[in-house]
Amino acid sequence: KGLAVALLTTLYGVLFARIILLPAATKILQREQIIRFRNYLVAEGLALLADRKSPRYIQDKMNSFLDPSLHFNIDKMKG
């Protein structure tokens, strides 16, 4: 009886890890990568501002990191 309980608890532990813990860990890692990339972009942009680079240069540099569908244009932002 003791061996059956040990095997059953091991099975439950493996299933719990596979169904809940591994997907949760993957999601946490994805979020961490997104936040790290965002922080890198912010730091890069602030460094360019501190170096007094032109707005167009900063725009081109920031757009080079982004997907083309997410590119921004400072000319369209002028009111």
| Amino acid in the structure at residue 15 | L
What mean pLDDT value characterizes the chain? 93
- Domain residues of the chain, as ranges? 2-77
SS3 content of the chain, % helix, strand, coil (to 5): 80, 0, 20
Q: What is the pTM of this model?
A: 0.72
CA pair distance 14, 36, nearest whole angstrom: 31
Number of continuous H segments (helices) and E segments (strands) in the chain: 4, 0
**Both structure tokens of 51:** 């170096």
Q: What is the mean pLDDT of residues 52-68?
A: 95
